Amino acid sequence: MATIGILINHYNSRNDIRDLVAEISQTHRVVLLSKEKSLAHPLPPGVELRPLVSQKHLKLFFWTRFFRWFGKLPRSKENYYINEIFKLSRLNGLRLFLEKSKLCLQMCMPRFFSINQLLPILSSCDATDISDVDKFLLITEFADIPMLARICDSGKTSWAYLYSWDHACKHTVLTDRLTGYFVWNEKLAKDLEELQGVPCTKIKIIGATQLCPIVNYLSSSPPTPGSGRIENHPYFYFGCGTGYAPISRKEISLLTKLADLLLEKFPQYLFLIRPYPFYNDDSVLSELKLKSNVRIDDDYRSFQIKGSLRSTDIHNRLNLQRGSACFIHIGTTMGYEAAFLGCPVVFINLIADVDEGVGLNIESLSTFARQYHIQKYLVGNYPSCANNLLEVINALGIAVNFPNQMEPYNKYVRSSTSLSTLKEISKDILSQSV
């Protein structure tokens, strides 16, 4: 039995990746290469967790910092910047100010140092035993650059799976030295080629593990789209888009205004709101909770393990989406998924924030909505794309009275990605990793 080493990241919070590891372990010995020394979820039988061993720490410290200041960025630089800003969400006060200032300065620096120049330097900074590994699978975002370098230098087959639809436009270490990349669809293949310089000959389309729960859900004979009820009322469902506090507060402010409009225009409908899983400032929701037509979908939080949901909670969330009169969002993976569920979808493609006027503000809802991947995958000339709250209300009127007129947008969003089972995706991965 061949041994496959999987460079893992966010194993605790990604249900689909845990399921993929379990599927691969049916036919391969699996070694999880991780910066974590222990995991919150039990490993499948026969799967080994092998913590990474680093060395030459001074060298590693210098060159990773050098790359952070002078490393080449993807062509979609704004996405990179927004992503780096989001990473600072847990900081506050002086520390947050200093880190933001440093990031702004970094964005002004000349970017001339490529990941392919960095990797040979850092290869000696890892001392993990990989002698028994026959081939590698890496999951973006890559958990450790020295291990990435070791894998590239090993001469062994090494494929990477581009985990999310926004990874090609925000990550800086997607090297073409790997054997190849697995992606969701043709559009992501183009992103990887145009934004990261990976040759199209090194890219294979296999589908999306994140959409596998939808395959299982649709095969379970789900109820008719739009037929769901909460407290015997039809409802609209909103999925919040970010856990970054400054934008989250503006998103909640937008929802407060939208709730008032919905109460006026659709008094018989409830407004169900799902807070972002990793945003826990419930005080921001206090004004919303006072609205008579608002309900909060957050029961699932009681059962989260390190950000991971139970399969029953995922099924319930898909049920709520499919059962809604319309699913509404400002640019989320939930909004992408909703196109496969049969319910009407409205994407609020804000041109300018409410009460903010026009202009680029990195912490605005309009900048969030203008991210490269959101514009490429979710924007089209359809009623489902609303540029302001008035257009949202008009689109919801169509969703309520003529739901079939919203289907062309869903078809447009899902047209590039085929739904695949986890077994099919695993088979495709293993067929190439030889």
**pLDDT per position as a tens digit, 34-65:** 999 989 889 999 999 999 999 999 999 999 99
Residue closest to 145 by CA, chosen among 112, 106, 118, 178? 118
Structure tokens at 189: 């293949």
Digit-coded pLDDT (tens) for 115-157? 999 999 999 999 999 999 999 999 999 999 999 999 999 999 9
Q: Is 392 exposed, middle or buried (0-12, 13-18, 19+ CB in 10 A)?
A: buried
In whole numbers, what is the pLDDT of the chain averaged over residues?
A: 91
Q: What is the pLDDT of residues 346-393, one digit of tens each?
A: 999 987 555 555 445 667 888 888 889 999 999 999 999 999 999 999
pLDDT of residue 362: 67
Q: What is the DSSP letter of 222?
A: P
Helix (H) or strand (E) holding 320: helix 311-323
Which residues share a beta bridge with 33?
7, 50
Can you give the pLDDT at residue 396?
98
Q: In the chain, what is the straight-line distance between the N-terminal and C-terminal CA atoms, in Å?
A: 13
| Residue-range domains of the chain with CATH | 3-57+113-208+420-432 (3.40.50.2000), 78-109 (no CATH), 215-414 (3.40.50.2000)
Please indicate whether residue 398 or residue 93 has the higher confidence score (pLDDT): 398
Tens digits of per-residue pLDDT, 276-306?
876 666 677 888 889 999 999 987 766 666 6
**Single-letter code of the amino acid located at 42:** P
